[in-house]
Structure 1
Amino acid sequence: MGSKMICVALLLCLSLGVMAEDPYLFFEWHVSYGTIAPLGVPKQGILINGQFPGPLINCTSNNNIVVNVYNELDEPLILSWTGVQQRKNSWQDGTPGTMCPIMPGTNYTYKFQVKDQIGTYYYFPTTGMQRAAGGIGMLKVHSRELIPVPFDWPADEYSVLLGDWYNKGHKQLKAFLDSGRSIGRPDGVLINGKSGKVGDKVEQPLFTMEAGKTYRYRVCNVGLRNSINFRLQGHTLKLVEMEGSHTVQNVYDSLDIHVGQCMSVLVTANQAPKDYYLVASSRFARRPDVAVAVVRYTNSNTPASPMLPSPPPENSAGIAWSINQFRSFRWNLTASAARPNPQGSYHYGKINITRTIKIANTRSVVNGKLRFGINGVSHVDPATPLKLSEYFGLAEKEFKYDLVKDDPATAGSGLVVAPSVMNATFRNFVEIIFENHEKTIQTWHLDGYSFFAVAIEPGRWSPDKRKNYNLVDGVSRHNIQVYPNSWAAVMTTLDNAGMWNLRSEMWERTYLGQQMYFSVLSPARSLRDEYNIPEAQQLCGIVKGLPKPALYSGV
């Protein structure tokens, strides 16, 4: 009788284990102003819990993240979680098109799950030009213990946030753009909020390594404009992960990382015990900026050599170098990992394309002011977030669908300034072509999805270029660079219902309209495809005070 009771108890425990929710991680953040001077010029920065950069979110695949954000600024605030594919949950994607801002003196609690994901991501404020002031931090998603990673566990992990920096305050930069002016060139480059120079006296190193051990460096470019090349004096970089995908483990002397992109490299401490410089230098800029930080071997008292490793070439030779580096990136198809992509997407090259959308960046002067756009449409945010007005059945009062056409050749003359939402068919497999007709590099990001980066080439795209696509092991990622007078091609399945932002990652361009939204509606209107609006979701604009529509049902 006792053995039967034990068996029943074991079965009960097993069933409860299967039914149990994934773990929750709770954070309380106070977002405030503070004076910071990374380049020696004091300015008003945005701090989270008094920190710049902000706190690290360190989590594991399938964890539920709960962040209670108190806005102690004098302006509205929205935080976005770049690259975190909030499956079925664009409600909290963190863009002005999907949610109401957190007003000054109030708080809002974000709740989302890093479902079936691993990788390196970051968060940042999407309101106005606040990204230029801080409020940025890293979000790391580890593999669950049951899922092996394709490399030995490192001795330690280090977070590296790179980015260009403006000495002018974010409100002044916004005023420039609102008046029709450009914000101009950045004033320098930062590594984790600081800009060290060769020969600076160093009290504490950025990181410490022990001889013979291997370390994981998670690196993101969180700047506003410039691509950055990073390298570690005397060491090679083994690329192992890029925006949530394990990669084929190629070894590099340096890596270009474009605005909005993240990657992980392994560094083995196999040199003489001393100090070494971690170097970040801007790319494809008229005036390259350089910052360094010290990485110290334990028990070392020998300073780093002032001879920095050479940067890659610039101009056309540098673009060819960077394109070739992109082509060397391959998805590690043998690695076990959480994958948010739809069933069968590992053979994406065999899926029929149902729609081709060609995106061309546009710039023009409208009513005496500089504007940027996509296929002749420059986006502006309406008073009501697009997702809310659509959900409440009031979209026609706020915007028109499909002002942006699939082919820029069909766009009219001039630049239309209006909210820009493109209808998309749920679960369609689409090809998106980014064409850059300008002399400056571009970077593009798609919220809510990963896409397969299949090609980058100079010139103009045409259907016969598909023969050059990598249809086997292109990296699944959410950010793609487009070089001057070049094009890039990506493929994705629009299987994540919601309202999702496609934008330039050059924030001046985003603020001035080089973005749009995909409306991906599930015909079933079922919880299987999209979550209901959160009970505590803030309402604003024309939907404020309205009763919520009938909830979705089903599983």
Structure 2
Amino acid sequence: MEGVVLILLLCLTFGAMLGVHGEDPYLFFDWKITYGTLSPLGTPQQVILINDKFPGPEINSTSNNNVVINMFNQLDEPFLITWSGVQQRKNSWMDGTLGTNCPIQPGTNQTYHFQVKDQIGSFIYYPVTGMHRAVGGFGGLHINSRLLIPVPYPDPEDDLTVIINDWYTSTHTTLKKHLDSGRSIGRPSGVLINGKNAKGDGSDEPLFTLKPEKTYKFRVCNAGLKSSLNFRIQGHLMKLVEMEGSHVIQNEYESLDVHIGACFSVLVTTNKEPKDYYMVASTRFIKTVLTGKGIIRYENGKGPASPELPEPPVGWAWSLNQFRSFRWNLTASAARPNPQGSYHYGSIEITRTLKLVNSAHRVGGKLRYAINGVSHVDPETPVKLAEYYGIAEKVFKYDLMPDSPASDSPAEIVVQPNVKNLTFRNFVEIIFENHEKSMQSWHLDGYSFFAVAIEPGTWSPEKRKNYNLLDAVSRTTIQVFPKSWAAIMLTFDNAGMWNLRSEMWEKAYLGQQMYVSVLSPERSLRDEYNIPDNFLVCGLVKDMPPPKPYTI
């Protein structure tokens, strides 16, 4: 026995001398995707459950964790989930979008493996197939700080997830038929908080029960289809501390506009009279305001929540001013993800500018949405697979979409896969210009970007003098108000095929999205991983031998 112990000690000693380290920790999940029947707005309807949960289970991870999810599709349709906002370095294979992944067929499973990096913050996951997102399959994804990396606030009493979303009482198949037939899905039926809407008749169970005189962290994410939502907690201030992977200057707010796809973390102190209070989420920028409620309850509290709800703000100028109050916390040691470039982004020379103008059109009498005159469709062979297997020319054409539109409202549009070539490690400015009367929200997979400006009107190079070039928040979504523009800046140094999409899901479904191809000229494992051994292949590459793998 002593000899065995001695051998083990010697192995450990030599391992330490040679710098041998174990892998980062693994988190394993088995997910069963099924249909279920619930009544979120009082009427029974079909929803999508993950492990019998709606919303789906939270993924609680710590930076550098390896997340392994074995997903069993027990629906009657193909299904696919994207991990929105998680910067999968060198690994667009696990992005979970239809341009990179084949959907999981009914009755089969697929295992996803990705490593979360130093984006210490709050994100969501949701389905990208059809209109599945309209009926569930979404949930919270948290990346916590390692013990060695302090966060700029004391540990809260608890860490709580709040998923807010607009909701339709129509089935996802009905909504899909509307869009496929050329119609809009119309206005939502209501608003949910964690899958529910409190009736206010005394029968509601609390979403959360809280201890008095404690501070709680709420991660608030908008997983909806169409509506920006204003979130507030009756009688309580919210201290904003983080958004989508970046710590921010800690201002207090009575309410926050949470746009589609966005996530905020707030601290709330339970220092009010012990009783029930409403969490409230209401639609913004539409004529008919829809409101969802959920109860928080103080332990041993007495008394129902007041029926007088805090009023939402009016107009989008208020929301624009709130955006301008968001600033990156430059003194925090975390979350400070590498924002694909430099913290001194304001002094980097812009090598390319893309101006993306969204527009709506009728093609053959059917509604389509476009970016710079191109309306994206997903081919049977995902564009990433076509590129990797060397048959891109058989599936799509690069750069159909110009860097800037010839016309702000083109008379005709092209309905084809929309793939843009971007040069590896170029520092790029992207302008989102919205000429419509409705809101927009945009998301870019694989990257954080600096949200440097949002202003009314149209963009011109002279507008750069109004950019925040010091402490703009590094994040993954950006809203664009009606008749306005927004500017972001980033370095495209994460090799792969990445989805840039409208988060207004009917617009994304009907073509308002694109892919950016970021190829490393060295084709090295230092820049991008090889295709995983268990990766699903489909379309033209299904029976093709895999290409020669990348090496160091």
Verify same fold: TM over 0.5. Answer: yes
Residue 329 (1) aligns with residue 326 (2): yes
- Secondary structure class of the residue paired with 1:542: helix
Equivalent residue runs for 1:173-252 within 5 Å: 173-202=175-204, 204-252=205-253
Counterpart of 1:337, as a letter, is A
Alpha-carbon deviation of 1:445? Answer: 0.3
SS state of the match for residue 346, structure 1?
coil
- Match for residue 91 of structure 1? 93
Question: Do 1:219 and 1:264's aligned partners in 2 also have CA atoms closer than 8 Å?
Answer: yes
Q: Distance in 1 between matches of 2:18 and 2:456?
A: 56
Q: 1:112 aligned to 107, 114, 126, which one? A: 114
Among candidates 51, 68, 71, match of residue 69 of structure 1: 71
Q: CA deviation at 1:115?
A: 1.9
Counterpart AA for 1:167? T
Which residue, out of 413, 424, 428, partners 1:430? 428
Preserved contact between residue 180 and residue 369 of structure 1 (Cα < 8 Å): yes
Equivalent residue, structure 2, for 1:448: 446
Distance in 2 (alpha carbons) for counterparts of 1:338 and 1:62: 13
Residue 380 of structure 1: aligned partner: 377
The alignment status of 1:403 with 2:405, answered yes or no, reads no
Distance in 2 (alpha carbons) for counterparts of 1:14 and 1:195: 55
Counterparts of residues 474-493 of structure 1 (less than 5 Å)? 474-493=472-491
Quickly say closer, same or farther: Cα 1:338–1:237, change in 2 above 3 A. closer
1:63-107 CA distances to partner (integer Å, 9 max, x unpaired)? 000000000011101111000011111111001100111000100
Cα shift readout 1:336-378 (whole Å, capped 9, x = no counterpart): 1254425761111011100000010011000010000100000
Superposition deviation, residue 492 in structure 1 = 0.6
Does the alignment pair 1:143 with 2:145? yes
C-alpha separation in 2, matches of 1:368 and 1:305: 49
In 2, are the aligned partners of 1:497 and 1:522 still within 8 Å (CA)?
yes
- The corresponding residue for 1:509 is 507
State the secondary structure of the residue aligned to 2:72: strand
Aligned-pair distance for 1:10? 6.5
1:1-400 counterparts in 2 under 5 A? 11-12=13-14, 14=16, 19-202=21-204, 204-313=205-314, 318-337=315-334, 339-341=336-338, 345-400=342-397
Distance 1:343 1:104, change over 3 A: closer
Inter-partner Cα distance in structure 2 for 1:344 and 1:436: 27
Partner amino acid, structure 2, of 1:354: T
Return the alpha-carbon distance in structure 2 between the equivalents of residues 116 and 542 of structure 1: 37
SS in 1 for 2:385: helix
Tell which deviates more after alignment, 401-410 or 489-498.
Answer: 401-410
Q: Distance in 2 between matches of 1:201 and 1:551?
A: 60
CA distance in 1, matches of 2:213, 2:225: 37
CA contact (8 A) 2:339 2:448 kept: no
Secondary structure of the corresponding residue to residue 259 of structure 1: coil
Going from structure 1 to structure 2, the CA distance change for 1:293 and 1:354 (only over 3 Å counts) comes to same
Q: Please tell me whether the aligned partners of residues 121 and 245 of structure 2 are also in contact (alpha carbons under 8 angstroms).
A: yes
Change (3 A) 1:537 1:251: same
Asked if structure 1 preserves the Cα contact closer than 8 Å seen for 2:340 and 2:492, the reply is no
Residue of 465, 468, 472 corresponding to 1:467: 465
Report the CA distance shift for 1:552/1:152 in structure 2 as closer, same or farther (over 3 A): same
Rate the CA distance shift 1:235–1:16 in 2: closer, same or farther, 3 A: farther
Report the residue type matching 1:476 in the other structure. Answer: S
**Contact residue 356 and residue 372 of structure 2 kept, 8 A:** yes
Residue 256 of structure 1 and its aligned partner are, at CA, apart by 0.3
Say if 1:210 and 1:352 are closer, same or farther in 2 by CA, change over 3 A.
Answer: same
What secondary structure does 1:438 align onto? coil
- The Cα offsets for residues 36-72 of structure 1, whole Å up to 9 and x where unpaired, read as 2201122211111111111111110000000000000
* In 1, Cα distance between equivalents of 2:94 and 2:68: 11
Check conservation: 1:342, 1:495, Cα contact below 8 A: no
* Aligned-partner SS, 2:406: helix
Q: Is the 8 A contact 2:202 2:304 kept in 1?
A: no
- Partner secondary structure for residue 345 of structure 1: coil
**Distance of 1:324 and 1:18 partners within structure 2:** 51
Task: State the secondary structure of the residue aligned to 1:66.
Answer: strand
1:550 aligned residue (540, 548, 551): 548
Q: State the Cα distance separating 1:168 from its structure 2 match.
A: 0.3
Query: Structure 1 residues 264, 338: CA separation in 2 closer, same or farther (over 3 Å shift)?
Result: closer
Post-superposition shift, 1:237?
A: 0.4
Query: For 1:94 and 1:16, how far apart are their aligned partners in 2?
Result: 37
Alpha-carbon contact 2:433-2:459 (below 8 Å) kept: yes
Cα gap change, 1:297/1:180 in structure 2, threshold over 3 Å: closer, same or farther? same
**Distance in 2 between the 1:200 and 1:394 partners?**
62
Query: What letter is aligned with 2:299?
Result: T
Shift of 1:6: 11
* Conservation of the 8 A alpha-carbon contact between 1:61 and 1:338: no
CA distance in 2, matches of 1:69, 1:23: 20
SS in 1 for 2:268: strand
Equivalent pair of 1:36/1:42 in contact (CA under 8 Å): yes
SS in 2 for 1:466: helix
In structure 2, the residue matched to 1:521 is 519
Deviation at 1:308, TM superposition (A): 1.1
Gaps of 5+ in 1: none
Distance in 2 separating the partners of 1:61 and 1:339? 12
Distance of aligned partners of 1:553 and 1:118 in 2 relative to their CA distance in 1, 3 Å threshold: same
Distance in 2 between residues matched to 1:40 and 1:171, nearest whole Å? 20
1:199–1:306 contact (8 Å) kept in structure 2 = no
Shift of 1:7: 9.2
Q: What is the Cα deviation at residue 19 of structure 1?
A: 1.7
Secondary structure of 1:100's match?
coil
Q: Distance in 2 between matches of 1:324 and 1:198?
A: 33
The structure-2 alpha-carbon separation of the partners of 1:211 and 1:370, relative to structure 1 and needing over 3 Å to count, comes to same
